[in-house]
Amino acid sequence: MDIAVMPADSTPTWWPSPAKLNLFLHVTGRYDNGYHHLQSVFQMLDQGDRLAFEVTDDSSITLATPLPGVPAQDNLVIKAARLLQRFTQCPQGCVITLDKQLPMGGGIGGGSSNAATTLVVLNYLWGCGLNDDALALLGLQLGADVPVFIYGNTAFAEGVGEQLTPITVAPACYLVVNPGVHVSTPAVFSEPELPRNTPKIGLSDYVFEKTHNDCQQIVCNRHPEVAKLLQWLVHYAPSRMTGTGACVFATFSNEDAARKVQAKLPANWSSFVAKGVAQSPLKRQLHDVYAAPDRH
Ligand SMILES: C[C@@](CO)(OP(=O)(O)O)[C@H](O)COP(=O)(O)OP(=O)(O)OC[C@H]1O[C@@H](n2ccc(N)nc2=O)[C@H](O)[C@@H]1O
Ligand SMILES: Nc1ncnc2c1ncn2[C@@H]1O[C@H](COP(=O)(O)OP(=O)(O)O)[C@@H](O)[C@H]1O
């Protein structure tokens, strides 16, 4: 799989819904409600899905492009649109088109990003007037990873991933590989052997080599294909699993180097190459739209 760069000027207006990587993921404790206290760096990528929105005068919300295996009422795009409509009592509705490129359930945040793009763009198109903090709070009801996509910055994260501080990391190009196995996030977090006491680090202490992903060993034990992929990739570049898996990323200083290794990948592993960006393409596009002189 090779994901095309998202155009900002095609018709209909496409809105980016980028992927993320967890450059590291430490589990530092557990809340009373069972959720885990995490530390992570969310790296925004320049590649992802894209969505288009057509506003309607009635209140119906429709997804024109259903996802195989995901009933419409469970699709995070529909859930996000309904949540915003209910919260703001907006009388308008919409028809949404989702161009799905990212593998689902791979730890690269596709569903959460789709929800965030829906909240951010409908807030603009419906004229709801919510700020990012309000949208992030709404988004958190849909998933722990939604707020980072609302703010759209590469960020150091704490809490369940909602306490975010922008961070500057070294420019890099990533080869993201999908081993093709499905890993359940709740299953990983309910594993008795999951390390849950990793000492906290400060934002300024973050160094890739001195951090790790606490979920990686558990996932490798349960899914040998992930372990095999990691063993293959580390031969070429520093590599790590993202989130609760199953995707794995290898880090390169430039696109050519990433593409050379991509060309050597065994055919059973799909992959894409993406650049790390400080600000998500969604936020850049939104900024341009708000800055346009003819906006109504
Ligand atoms: C851990 C991360 C890192 O990015 O994994 P990935 O999903 O990206 O792989 C995410 O924060 C996941 O966020 P998200 O996928 O939105 O998770 P949610 O729907 O909120 O939670 C799914 C389930 O995971 C567990 N969970 C999730 C987040 C957290 N901090 N502690 C938990 O224990 C809970 O059992 C929860 O019911
Ligand atoms: N719009 C959507 N895109 C992707 N997955 C979705 C969407 N709506 C609901 N889901 C469900 O959410 C699950 C997690 O999706 P995703 O965010 O892609 O993975 P992850 O949280 O591992 O990065 C999927 O397996 C799917 O069942």
Question: Hey, whose CA ends up nearest to atom 16 of ligand 1?
Answer: 143
Measured from the alpha carbon of residue 159, the closest ligand is: 1
The beta strands (E) that lie in the chain are given as 15-30, 36-56, 61-63, 93-99, 155-158, 163-166, 173-178, 239-241, 248-252, 270-277
- Is position 75 within any domain? yes
Mean pLDDT score, 14-42: 96
Q: Ligand 1: which atom is nearest the Cα of residue 159?
A: 30
- Is position 120 within any domain? yes
- Is position 293 within any domain? no
Percent of the chain with pLDDT over 70: 96
Instruction: Please give the mean pLDDT across all residues of the chain.
Output: 94
Measured from the alpha carbon of residue 155, the closest ligand is: 1
Q: Which residues are annotated as a binding site?
A: 103-113
Centre of ligand 2 from the C-alpha of residue 139, in Å? 14
- Is position 230 within any domain? yes
> Nearest-CA neighbor of 108 among 148, 135, 68?
148
Centre of ligand 2 from the C-alpha of residue 292, in Å? 33
- Is position 258 within any domain? yes
The number of folded domains in the chain is: 1
Q: Which residues are annotated as a binding site for ATP?
A: 103-113
- Give the pLDDT score at 4: 44
Our answer to whether residue 100 is catalytic in this structure is no
Centre of ligand 1 from the C-alpha of residue 28, in Å? 14
- Give the pLDDT score at 290: 85
- Is position 295 within any domain? no
> Is pLDDT at 92 greater than 50 in this prediction?
yes
Mutation choice for ligand 1 from 185, 191, 214, 240, CB with most ligand atoms inside 8 A: 185
Q: In this prediction, does ipTM exceed 0.90? A: yes
CA–CA separation, 130 vs 32, rounded Å?
Answer: 31
> Is pLDDT at 234 greater than 90 in this prediction?
yes
- Is position 294 within any domain? no
Domain extent at residue 26: 1-287
- Give the pLDDT score at 11: 72
pLDDT tens sequence across 157-169: 999 988 999 999 9
Residue 47: phi, psi to the nearest 5? Answer: -120, 155
> Is pLDDT at 223 greater than 90 in this prediction?
yes
CA–CA separation, 160 vs 227, rounded Å?
Answer: 26
Centre of ligand 2 from the C-alpha of residue 92, in Å? 26
Output the domain CATH number for residue 76: 3.30.230.10
- Is position 292 within any domain? no
Our answer to whether residue 256 is catalytic in this structure is no
Question: Hey, whose CA ends up nearest to atom 4 of ligand 2?
Answer: 111
Catalytic residue among 46, 49, 145, 214: 145
Virtual torsion, Cα 76, 82, 84, 85, nearest 10 deg: 160
